[in-house]
Amino acid sequence: MFGTLYSISLRRKVIIGAAVVYLFMTATILGSYYSMRSLEDKISYLENVSKLEESVLEIRRFEKNYFLYGNKDSLTTALYHLKRVEALIADNTAKIESLSSPGQIAEFKASLAEYGQLLGQCSNSFVKDSDGKPDCESAMRKTGNAMAQFGETVAKRKRDSIKETMRATVTLPLFGLIVVGCGLVAIGSFLFTKVTRSLLLLEDGTTRIAQGAFKPIETLPAERDIRNILIAFNSMALQLQDREEQLVQSKKLASLGTMLAGVAHEVNNPLSNISSACEILLEELDEADKEFQRKFLKNILVQVEKARTLILNLLEFSRAKELNLESVSLKGIVERTLESLSGEKPTDLRVTVQIDPAIRVHVDRGKMEQAFTNLISNAFQAIDGDGEVKIRALAKKDGIVKVRISDSGKGIPEENLPKIFDPFFTTKDVGKGTGLGLFITHDIVLRHKGMIQVKSSPEKGTTFTIQLPAVENS
């Protein structure tokens, strides 16, 4: 049963909840309508009961006038009201019985008959100041009191019944309003919880995709419609991952022509130098001294090393080597990089490091040191004379660490910024750079599911910003 309930879609659950609230509202309205109609009938019925009570009271009033003033017309009027009471009893016996009992009705009718007989006796034997008047008066008053008490009791019970109906008429809509309000709050809370939780899952998933982590959402809700949306989102994430990999391969293939041209140019220079040195050595082999030969052999070794370094960089890029990811201190990586570059740092250049030692990143230590080496080395070379390099890091709440490497150097022309990460693109003088450093750095950052951006202005310096996955605090 519960499995069937959980499998119901969110839309159907909302419809069922709204239908239940609607049915309860309808029942409340119908109940209120019934109470109002019942109240209307009771008020109409109260008029007859009130007439009964009023007629009995009129009988007692004219009875009192008769005995106080000796007016025989008062007895006639009392007899008229007595007939009226008898008619009301005859017309409303069933209703009055609901307010008393058949026995009480019978007693009341007997009292009416006895009172009528007493009225006749008093009327026939009336003699002012006679001795028989007190006896007649006492009997009539006793019977009249019983009649009045019955009339008051019936009227009071009817008024109490009307009060109860009025309370129910007021309480029922109020109770319905409270229940309906609670139902609407429950439906709203249910919707808010389910929809908000699903939106948070989507937000988290889209954030991870924006960071390059195409990880599907694992915790799926039971509601079928929301579950289908998240399943479709997971399918989209996996397709984006496949397309991202295909796009990377396409970019690599697209840059292959540029790389081949660059390789041909970069390898041709040392080969030309080696060829020239070998020709000179061959020509001067018999006549040249050892120092002369040593000079050209050293030059050949330098050129071979350049070609070897170039080939190693290309091989490093071409290999799809798995990253050895681990939790490492970001400040430790930067300090190790600066230590390895201490020989390249100009004397007048200042390096400022502002990194919290508690910040840890999930990276391949060797690859990330290589990336920072390329960026910091470029920053050193961009500054002529006095200057400063700032390395700062900020841990964000979304599990990302931002690292900024800024220099006060000559900057990069705006037209060169779009090409800064292209292979073999360099702004350095011939022989001072291969144009592969930033290209490899860009590839390393992307393989870590990160991002790298550059901002630069001529004569104002350059800032590289890297986003890396942080290690969550446990």
385 and 276, same structural domain? no
The enclosing domain of 303 has a CATH number of 1.10.287.130
180 and 46, same structural domain? yes
314 and 357, same structural domain? no
**Predicted pLDDT at 138:** 77
Q: Copy the structure tokens of residue 266.
A: 């970069």
- Domain boundary pick from 171, 190, 209: 190
454 and 426, same structural domain? yes
Give the domain range for residue 246.
Answer: 223-254
The tens digit of pLDDT for each residue in 102-149 reads 777 777 777 777 777 777 777 665 544 444 455 667 777 787 787 778
Question: What is the dihedral angle through the alpha carbons of 374, 375, 381, 386, rounded to the nearest 10 degrees?
Answer: -140
260 and 250, same structural domain? no
Tell me how crowded residue 58 is: count the other CB atoms within 10 A of its CB.
Answer: 17
Strand pairing category for 451-457 and 387-395: unpaired
List the single range of 6-15, 196-205, 282-291, 301-310 with lowest mean pLDDT. Answer: 6-15
The answer as to whether 116 is a domain residue is yes
329 and 315, same structural domain? no
> Of 332, 339, 323, nearest to 361 (Cα)?
332
- Domain boundary pick from 319, 342, 366: 319
The answer as to whether 447 is a domain residue is yes
φ, ψ (nearest 5 deg) of residue 128: -60, 135
**Using an 8 Å Cβ cutoff, are 443 and 389 in contact?**
no
The tens digit of pLDDT for each residue in 412-425 reads 888 888 888 777 66
Q: Copy the structure tokens of residue 34.
A: 């019934």
Q: Cα(158)–Cα(165) distance, rounded to whole angstroms?
A: 11
Q: Is 132 left (phi over 0), alpha (psi -120 to 50) or beta?
A: alpha
393 and 425, same structural domain? yes
Cα 146 versus chain centre, distance: 73
306 and 178, same structural domain? no
SS3 state at 390: strand
pLDDT at residue 465 greater than cutoff 90: yes
List the single range of 13-27, 103-117, 247-261 with lowest mean pLDDT. Answer: 247-261
pLDDT at residue 318 greater than cutoff 90: no
278 and 371, same structural domain? no
- Domain boundary pick from 167, 190, 213: 190
The tens digit of pLDDT for each residue in 184-205 reads 777 777 666 766 777 777 777 7
Average pLDDT, rounded, for the chain: 75
373 and 250, same structural domain? no
The enclosing domain of 357 has a CATH number of 3.30.565.10
Number of domains in the chain: 4
pLDDT at residue 42 greater than cutoff 90: no
121 and 176, same structural domain? yes
pTM: 0.44
175 and 108, same structural domain? yes
In the chain, count of helices (H) and strands (E)?
Answer: 12, 7
